[in-house]
Structure 1
Amino acid sequence: MASPQIPLTALDWSGVNKQTAFQEWKEFLESYFVINKITDADKYHYLLLSCGPKGMELFQSHNITEEDKHNPAHLWSLKTTWWRNLTNGYIGYSSSK
């Protein structure tokens, strides 16, 4: 029996508690990866789709290489850094490269 289609979760950029929103999004997305057997090579694309245009802009600001795209731990560290540096409703980020 095939498993039901599970919708891809989206990061809520507008919520009041952005830390909680990020943690929930990350947990849901990691479960999505497991259930749908998403390979490390494809996780970048799912991260990009689920965090929308604002997230794409932040990813692009880091000049992510093809090698980076296949390293989910590195991608999560970038996202975590952005969310740790939240100020005045905007995402601040620092490059770890």
Structure 2
Amino acid sequence: MQVQVFIGNAGDGQTSKLQEIQDRLIATGQNTLIIQAGAYGEDGLLQILEVRAAGGQREILVDDCSRLQVLKVLEWRSSAEDDPNFDDLIIHLARQD
């Protein structure tokens, strides 16, 4: 599992890096929606990430993450290191300013 964290201007999902990634995924025929982290607590965000990964999504975009949400995702990545179901998973997180 790979986790990329965008901060500052790069972390503005409306106009920058997340939108570029989403456009690339759509161009390759992948349907992906940006998760709005503000709608979830830390554990809820982890649950939605697991659901998306179990459903076959290999790149997941998350906007407006709190510092604590980012830390929880990084902890989850560490705990899932030996799980082959997550080997090719990429999570892009845009952190709140």
> TM-score when scaled to structure 1?
0.29
More helix by share: 1
Looking at secondary structure, tell me which structure has more strand per residue.
2
**Comparing both chains, which one has the higher relative contact order based on Cα–Cα distances under 8 Å and sequence gaps of 6 or more?**
2
Structure with max Cα Rg: 1
